[in-house]
Chains A and B, each alone.
Chain A
Amino acid sequence: MTTTSELPETAPETRYIGKPIKRREDPRLMTGQGSFLDDIRLPGMSYAEVVRSPYAHANIKMIDTGAAKSMPGVLGVFTGDDFMDINPLPCAWQAGKVTNNVNTPRVLAVDKVCQVGDPVAVVVAETPYQARDAAAAVDVDYEELPAVTDAKATTADGAPQLHENAPNNIVLTWECGTDADSVDAALKAADVHVTEEIRNQRLIPTAIETRGSIGRYDPGTDEYTLWETSQCPHVHRLLLAAFVMNIPEHKLRVIAPDIGGGFGQKIFLYWDMPLVLALAKKVGRPVKYVEDRSSNYLTATHGRDHVTDVEIGATNDGHITALKVKTWANLGAYLSTIAPGIPTTLYGRMVAGCYKIPNIHVDVVATYSNTAMVDAYRGAGRPEAAYLVERVCDLVAHATGVDPAEVRRRNFIQPEDFPYDTGVGMLPYDSGNYEQAFDRALEQVGYKELRAEQQRRRRNSDPKLLGIGLSSYVEVCGVAPSKWIGLPGEGWGAGLWESANVRVHLTGKIVATTGSLPHGQGHETSFSQLVAEELGVPIEDVEIQHGDTAGTPFGFGTYGSRSLAVGGIAMYKSLQKVKEKARRIAAHMLEASPEDIVWENGKAHVKGSPEQAKTLGEIALQASVAYDLPDGMEPYLDETTYYDPPNCTFPFGTHVCVVEIDRETGEIALRRYVAVDDVGNVVNPLIVDGQLHGGIAQGLSQALYEGAVYAENGELLTGTMNDYAMPRASMVPTYELDRTVTPSPTNPMGVKGAGEAGTIAATPAVANAVLDALRPFGIENLDMPLTPPKVWAAMHHAAGAAQAAD
């Protein structure tokens, strides 16, 4: 492990931070004692099922609920007309400083449907079986309309129009970077000029737990409770109360129980959330709605789906001098909660990657189409940017004859350049040493030897084609500060700070709350490590609470790899406040001055007199019984922080993938996968490595397996797990991980974020490897997923096929 930290050579010995502590969440999860949404059983529970449109685009002529209403066990059948007092869902992140033509879903479609699966009616029944039976008995008449599904095609003249306020189905047009004329001039002046159409296909996030919600209404107190599969219950409470249902925020409690994975899809406010609340009031019973997997595939959000025309200028020796990017981002039938922010702030402003590119212009056209909504999916904009710029590096390598590794090396931002402004409107990159991570990855994989082997195999017409794929990435995490990302700047209509409360109870036991919301990331462990480390207590004395708006201060939730870099720092700051107050109490108890108190091994003592120390428990007791506190001090150790960082954090690294392709069948074997990541300081390496593993699997799966496909009529052809290829254990390799550590100067813990790095890095590493293997065929680019049939067809039909076979 290499450290480029400015920290002292001998870091203080830690007890918890940096240690691979086994997760505290695991015992309940590995024994079946977790409590996921569908595990919750309330007295009197009833079950909702919706009737979904079979058409991608149609007018609703008539809905007959009569037969359904008389089915056994049915408590009620409702249509959109029954919920006209509920507003359409809000779009909370509209692209900054441009017009957004906003159309968002209602709880049930009214008059018109815009995608297959749009809910048009809902049944509530005694059992889920009865609810399905009755839903099947609802009779709906549609007038089918022509549909359009492709991002580029949807803006073409004559394409079917989805929404009156969005001519040509355009949600927004947005640009960033150097002015287009300058970039054109730079392109013209370049030695080498390359153009390509690069597609980043649509993906379905597929957390193994689908989405669901449970609504309960208490007429005695006029209070609503919503249990939901959510990455951000506080945000949902705010949106539901203030914008959707017009109920007072304090009359709504939102609870996220154990969450079975999210990957972005559970960030968003969905129609079923207000629906179950309204239904609970209507039928006077708690109402549960849980999606089937095929419903999840139809109408929960998807990710990616960009088509990009890129023009590249470079010098003969591989320096990239200009990039002109035009991207069509398919946002689906309606706008999901933060959809416009993804292809703009999180994509357009990251296309420079880790390279110094003097002229970049990005145009983004976000569009509607008769498909599922597209919003953040693990990486959210950054994978699309990384894929683009990493494909650009390889295209430049091919065009100039410079080795792909050398192209990257020649264009890297250097350590002394930080903080670095890429010129496309992103906040300055905080810190980095890109070449160091790059060198380490190349060394570990044996890059030179592999290139030699590749040459040998090509000369010998080896039946297996060797491919080496490089991907150097930088991403933005801990997205903040509010004054930049908020409404006046980037269009996110709120802050993006995070909260933490730390209470040391009378008995010395500690309860800490966070506004972030774990759904697999292990906050209960890593945040406990932080608390135990800072306060010098055993980790067993710490409990982390989250997920219930009734018990935790407002927080924005978990996404964008922000939990530690924002939520963790809020926690860290609350801990410092607790320590400071404890120091003052200890000083009082020891009759010393607070400046003379030092913390050591979880105890406070006067400098030079460690034998007379006060434990945190003793201090907490003193703070709690409160009869002998410093003058004017409030009782109790209880501190809250709302932390708004001064900048984002920018993790980086290099991944290298080595593939072997069967010349005859196009079948791809993953031979090696090496990843060197720099996520700043690490609290729990076990958890960080796990995040990277999972991220890499998702990223490589985009390159090789996954892709949501619609028929021209808007039918989702990959509508079940029988068709949508999820990676299985036999389809992924062993990941060889290593790290460099470049602490972020943005926050006092020097942390950056690790949740999305693997996904961002892996897709281009694998795609570049496959395309590198296919170089002898003269193939410049192929659209993902790079399946054997596609790879074989490309080889089979390539102009260079004959030559390659020589």
Chain B
Amino acid sequence: MFPTEFAYHRATSVQDAIAFLGANPDAKVLAGGHSLIPAMKLRLAAPGALVDIGRIESLHAIDVRPDGAKIGAMATYNDIRDNAGIARIYPILPEAIAEIGDAQVRERGTFGGSLAHADPAADLTAVFLALNGEIAVTGPNGDRTIKADDLFVDLWTTTLETDEIITSVILPAPPASNGMGYEKHAHPASGYAVVGIAAVLGFSADKTCESARIAVTGATSKATRLTGVEQALTGQKLTAELVSSAAGQASDGLDINGDLYASEEYRAHLVNVLTRRVLTSAAGL
């Protein structure tokens, strides 16, 4: 409950933050703080310095356009949930956000922070994969983007460099005709996903499933796409039988965790069941 000492710098701009990170190798970025501060309170994390990006105005904006959305890295879960454009185009976001942590986490936690932290049981990591998003990143060598499929490496590990900062989360426009959703079994104590499944399906005019992006969180060491299921659905007209049979294979080939609460076997089972449920609902079956 009493963090160790650190130096604090409130960044005035992204460049300022990058410079501070460059000058302080043991510095960490403080965004919403809802993953970092709990770790610091237990002294599981003890950074020598924090750079607070919370006051960088440009990082808070949410811009929704026909060709996609750009969500500032400091936009909080509730900023996103309450954005009418987001709710209209990406209903999976408010749906999943309602399942995150608690009212206070939703009020202060950020999409960008969640992705950078890459908790294996976070909710929006899977949603981000299903939405085929990318992050805009700034570092000492300038700007770059990282695609969702290239971001997560392992438990709490991403391809983001330690001196880079996420500036925004970029979401492409979903398919014109789509169905999406998030299903979760929450841990009774932490509220994190024991298993969470996010799905975004695209349909043609004749209701053929043209694209499917389905991702799991909580069950594996990082949010992971269920490519087998995606392939089984793509190009097909979805029926209850097809969805059921595809979802029945969802956990195949995954390296699934077991822990005190839920065994590997149960998690694998939940992956299949929740995949079927989210697909059934997303496909309007």
Contacts and interface: CB of A to CB of B under 8 A. Distances in A.
A and B touch in the complex (CB under 8 A): yes
Interface of A: 128-129, 132-133, 136, 292-294, 664-667, 705, 709, 717-718, 720-726, 731, 787-789, 792-793, 796
A722 B190 contact: yes
By DSSP majority rule, is chain A's interface helix, strand, loop, or mixed? loop
A129 B2 CA distance: 6
Given A132-B2, A136-B43, A718 B260 contact: yes
A725 B260 contact: no
Contacts of A136: 43
Given A133-B4, A292-B1, A726-B189, A793 B273 contact: no
18 contacts: A129-B2, A132-B2, A133-B5, A293-B1, A294-B42, A664-B273, A665-B185, A666-B266, A718-B260, A721-B189, A722-B190, A723-B189, A723-B190, A787-B188, A788-B266, A789-B261, A789-B262, A792-B269
Contact of A725 (B2, B4, B185, B189): B189
A793 B266 contact: yes
Nearest to B266: A789
B104 interface: no
B2 A793 contact: no
B190 A788 contact: no
Interface in B252-285: 260-263, 265-266, 269-270, 273
A133 B43 CA distance: 10
Nearest to A127: B2
A795 B210 CA distance: 38
Contacts of B42: 294, 720
A726 to B, nearest CB: 7
With most chain B CB atoms within 10 A of its CB, the pick from A128, A665, A718, A724 is: A665
A731 B266 contact: no
Interface string B1-21: 110110000000000000000
B66 to A, nearest CB: 38
Contacts of B4: 133
A795 to B, nearest CB: 11
Q: Which residue of B4, B266, B269 has the most chain A CB atoms within 10 A of its CB atom?
A: B266
Chain B interface extent, by class: 20 to 34
Interface string B179-220: 000000101111000000000000000000000000000000
A102 B32 CA distance: 51
Given A720-B42, A725-B189, A726-B189, 17 more contacts: A128-B2, A132-B43, A293-B1, A294-B42, A665-B269, A667-B185, A717-B260, A718-B260, A721-B189, A722-B190, A725-B188, A788-B185, A789-B263, A792-B266, A792-B269, A793-B266, A796-B269
A725 B266 CA distance: 19
A664 B269 CA distance: 9
Contacts of A294: 42
B271 to A, nearest CB: 11
B263 A793 contact: yes
A665 B190 contact: no
A667 B183 CA distance: 14
B236 to A, nearest CB: 24
Contacts of A787: 188, 261
A731 B260 CA distance: 20
A722 B263 CA distance: 18
A638 to B, nearest CB: 46
A793 B260 contact: no
Given A294-B42, A709-B260, A717-B260, A722 B189 contact: yes
Chain A to chain B: the 10 pairs with minimum beta-carbon distance, closest first: A725-B188, A725-B189, A789-B266, A132-B2, A789-B262, A722-B190, A292-B1, A129-B2, A705-B188, A664-B273
A487 B282 CA distance: 69
A526 to B, nearest CB: 34
Contacts of A128: 2
Contacts of A667: 185
Looking at A666, A721, A722, A726, the one whose CB has the most chain B CB atoms below 10 A away is A722
B47 to A, nearest CB: 15
Contacts of B260: 709, 717-718, 723
